[in-house]
Chain A
Amino acid sequence: MTALRAAWNSDVAWSFRHAPMAMLSAFVVLVCILGAFLSPWLAPQDPFDLAGLSLMDSLRPPVFMDDGEWTYPLGTDNQGRDVLSAIMYGTRISLVVGVSAVAFAFVLGMVLGMVAGYAGGATDAVLMRIADVQLTFPAILIALLVQGVVVAALPQEAQEDFQLLVLVFAIGISNWPQFARTVRGSTLVERGKDYVMAARVIGIPAWRILLSHILPNVLGPVLVIATLNLGFAIITEATLSFLGVGLPPTRPSLGTLIRVGNNFLFSGEWWMTIFPGLMLALMVLSINLLGDWLRDALNPRLR
């Protein structure tokens, strides 16, 4: 109870309570997360249960249009799938891929950044040079390329199973330099401090110094980058899926839903594309606003 009160009275919580935009976006993000992860219980229909689909109900418009029904509040797709349920399941996949990709980039960037900053010399030069070269190219291009090469290298029958992992790997790989650069900078600062010197004098091995002494002190700034990166990772996943190199229609993310729906745009069934698109935009916008707020709240210079 006292811990809760302390958290309520902390600076960050204070700044949160005085930022209506942050509260609104936190609310939206929370609703997205709950809706996505409770989708098996909350969603009106299981879009992957073929027995529950009926072609008689396909291509129904949303409820506010002439032919709409309350059974399908946002209409149905060409196979009679409820668009609302598909969006809820799709958001779950988008969130899982986005969060895992950021986590992967985070760990990779942390490790390489700390090693580069602590070891210095040739290791540092090589790692940072690679990061520089990679930063010259847009992340989406690298993700596309990695995705293409890995899929080409995998045997045909394994491709379906690994699709999700390959996607996480591709997006993560395209994002690590940002984390590595920040971590390297703070590691360089920490390395010169007395407590690290003391730890080295008493003979603690380098990996333990990095893990238990330097790591907790360089974590703060990268966590902010991770939040800001999450929106970007979700957009990258959606873009790859939209381009047709991401997730297949059998396990649709929001990007796949938009791609499939896009084929029906001309025959007037706009709801199959526009609703997943709005969901994506709303979620990414809220995550970005929340990240912006967190960056400002954790930066004492801006207070």
Chain B
Amino acid sequence: MVIFVISRLLQAVPVLLVVGFIAFAMFAYVGNPVTMMLGQDFTEAQRAALVAQLGLDQPFFVQYAKFLWAALHGEFGVSYRLARPVTELIAERLPATLELAFTASAIALLIGVPMGVYTGIYRNSPLARAFMLFSLAGVSLPTFLIGILLILVFSVLLGWLPSFGRGDVVALGSWWTTGFLTASGLKALILPSVTLGLFQMTLIMRLVRAEMLEVLRSDYIKFARARGLTNRAVNFGHALKNTLVPVITIVGLQLGGLVAFAIVTETVFQWPGMGLLFVQSVSSADIPVMSAYLQLVALLFVGINLMVDLLYYAVDPRLRAGVRR
């Protein structure tokens, strides 16, 4: 177990180093901070002094090491566009994105799994066919288009739900703000999280359906029926339980996808999260923010992959037996 975790961690290190290198190279080769900071008039001595002060005269790898050291301590420089420390900007936006991603996953699981079970059990019923058709649309429509359609129906035509922002937020502790505690915050959360969760939902539904079809054919289900167990016990107690291992893996891996698609969803709904910050920094070439976002996302992905591996290990006893042998 310990060896497994350590080998996984060792695999993650080169990935993070490579991403760190790319992030550093963006700083080193795109734009020139010295001319930006000096302004119009300067002497050669002033320029040299600033270069020495910023450490730009040092060898490439010394600069790279310093950069990594600063990143490890959570220092990512100052945003060109907003003139504020990047760490502060991201910390401010992080709760919004995490709450959105969390709600989206919850919706995807709570609706996707029952839909998958239903279409797996009654696969020829008209309702199951309708679900499958719906999932085809969910897979092929681009995220932003789904968001726009939802806004058109629920905000513009019906006027039930707000179409942008987070509503009223409540501060918890020194930096976490939550929209879960106010009515307007919860209402504002509905459309973005449905948009973000829809793709995952259809994915989970199709996966659970395929697994259910597979499992329901197996012998132990026949035995369970022969023992006279109720349909509910067979379908949920025996069949569903065994479909969950691949579902956990996919849901875990897709969490990273959620962060990426949150960029699109946050832009459609003007949701004040990290994704919106990133898009704004891309269009105004704000390198420090882009570089910090890249490193943070890399860390998140590596962490999620590690957690999925561990979870797999905990859920599937065969893996544990294999290691001990």
Instruction: Name A's B-contacting residues (CB within 8 A).
Output: 129, 133, 136-138, 140-141, 144-145, 147-149, 151-153, 231, 235, 238-239, 242-245, 258, 262, 265-266, 268, 270, 273-274, 277, 280-281, 284-285, 288
CA distance A18 to B151 in the complex (A): 40
Secondary structure dominating the interface of A: helix
Q: Could you tell me if B285 and A239 are in contact, using CB atoms closer than 8 angstroms?
A: no
Interface hub of A133, A152, A153 (most chain B Cβ within 10 A): A152
* CB contact under 8 A between A243 and B156, given known A152-B287, A273-B148: no
Q: Could you tell me if A144 and B263 are in contact, using CB atoms closer than 8 angstroms?
A: yes
Q: Could you tell me if A277 and B297 are in contact, using CB atoms closer than 8 angstroms?
A: no
Q: Which 10 A-B pairs have the closest CB atoms?
A: A152-B285, A148-B282, A138-B260, A285-B140, A141-B260, A277-B145, A235-B142, A152-B30, A242-B144, A153-B30
CA distance A144 to B155 in the complex (A): 29
Q: Could you tell me if A148 and B301 are in contact, using CB atoms closer than 8 angstroms?
A: no
B203–chain A nearest beta-carbon distance, Å: 14
Interface size on B, residues (CB 8 A): 43
Partner of B267, one of A152, A243, A266, A285: A243
Q: Could you tell me if B26 and A149 are in contact, using CB atoms closer than 8 angstroms?
A: yes
Select from chain A the residue with minimum beta-carbon distance to B18: A133
Select from chain B the residue with minimum beta-carbon distance to A244: B283
Contact pattern, B 141-153, Cβ under 8 Å of A = 1, otherwise 0: 1111100110110
CA distance A151 to B305 in the complex (A): 32
Considering only residues 275-325 of chain B, those with a C-beta below 8 Å from chain A are: 278-279, 281-283, 285, 287, 290, 294, 297-298, 301-302, 305
Instruction: Name B's A-contacting residues (CB within 8 A).
Output: 14-15, 18-19, 26, 29-31, 140-145, 148-149, 151-152, 155-156, 163, 256-257, 260-261, 263-264, 267-268, 278-279, 281-283, 285, 287, 290, 294, 297-298, 301-302, 305
CA distance A141 to B287 in the complex (A): 15
CA distance A288 to B143 in the complex (A): 16
CA distance A149 to B140 in the complex (A): 29
Q: Could you tell me if A239 and B18 are in contact, using CB atoms closer than 8 angstroms?
A: no
Instruction: For A274, list chain B residues within 8 Å (CB).
Output: 148-149, 152
Q: Known pairs A136-B256, A239-B142. 20 more at Cβ < 8 A? A: A138-B257, A141-B263, A141-B297, A144-B263, A145-B290, A149-B287, A149-B290, A152-B30, A242-B264, A243-B263, A243-B264, A244-B267, A244-B279, A258-B144, A258-B148, A262-B148, A270-B156, A277-B148, A280-B145, A281-B140
